[in-house]
Amino acid sequence: MKKGIRRFGGINEFFEATGFERRTDIDEFFIFRFEELPADNALRMSPYQKDFYQVSLILNSGNARADINSQSRNSLENTLYFLSPEHTFSWRRNDQTTGYVVYFKPEFLSVFSGHFIHEFSFFDLSQENFQKPQMEQVEDLCSDFEKLYSAYSGKNPYRLQILQSLLLSFLFKCKSLQQKLDASIDLMPRKKEMVFRFQNLVNNCYIRKKQVADYAQLLHVSPNTLNQYVKDTLGKTAKEVISEKIVQEAVKQLRYTTEDISQVAYSLGYEEPTHFIRFFRKHTSTTPGEYRKSIL
């Protein structure tokens, strides 16, 4: 049977599913400390999506792990990361994990009139969604998280407006931090930067987007231009980059999981397993079943 990635519409719905007993009284916003999570439940979550944004700062990580689409991090000490409703996320934590989590829906920042993703591109699928701030920057970020936590926990009659203002200010600070961390990328020639963003998009979107035109649209260039940039930089076509990523993930699942071929196909975004089998044979000269038998 085909299994879809679970999607959560609301913050409280997500808490109910993970066994977190707290609930938010502001449907569009919540902040908590990792230490507040129950030590004996929700130690891991299989891939899921949600209809709200997330900003997290992990301080002490223990053996925590986070996967944002195909971006994986096993070393999360002093790591800041950003999630949008477009991301697929999975994680593992333990009772040693400390830090902060902020959830908010786009409408919570209705006071912001700009283009949200363009302004705060660290939520963009084409960008690196993990940041590794310096120690002094981590301390500054902790102060901002604590201000948000205090405002949420308080009873000020203008609590909602204060939270909106603090969150927007915090996101602009994160933008400033990103610009410092990404200074080397900003200096890239346009062609190299475009290919860098294309590769990030492929890593994040290969399950749902398999055509060069899909990525060209996201990058606001023509398919021919994107293909030429990729070929000039990597020595291969954009289509080859996409196909290589799909094959890489297929091989990983065939080698390290016991899912049947149909489920592997569905998890890679194929509605019909026969289409996946045909694709895999074209690029590896063997079927998924034959490949799996060959490594047993």
- pLDDT tens digits, 214-241: 999 999 999 999 999 999 988 999 999 9
Domains for the chain: give ranges and CATH numbers: 6-186 (2.60.120.280), 190-294 (1.10.10.60)
Instruction: Choose among 80, 170, 75, 64: nearest CA to 131.
Output: 80
- Please write the tens of the pLDDT for every residue from 13-52: 999 988 888 999 999 999 999 988 877 666 788 888 999 9
The mean pLDDT of 79-104, rounded to a whole number, is 91
Strands 130-131 and 44-50: unpaired
Reported pTM: 0.72
Q: Please name the residue that has the structure tokens 């299989």.
A: 46
What residue spans of 159-234 are helical by DSSP H?
A: 159-181, 183-186, 190-205, 212-219, 223-234
- The tokens for 22 are 């707290």
Instruction: Choose among 29, 34, 28: nearest CA to 56.
Output: 34
Q: How many other CB atoms are found less than 10 A from the CB of residue 87?
A: 22
Instruction: Report the alpha-carbon distance of residue 167 to residue 173 in Å, rounded.
Output: 10
The confidence score (pLDDT) of residue 256 equals 79
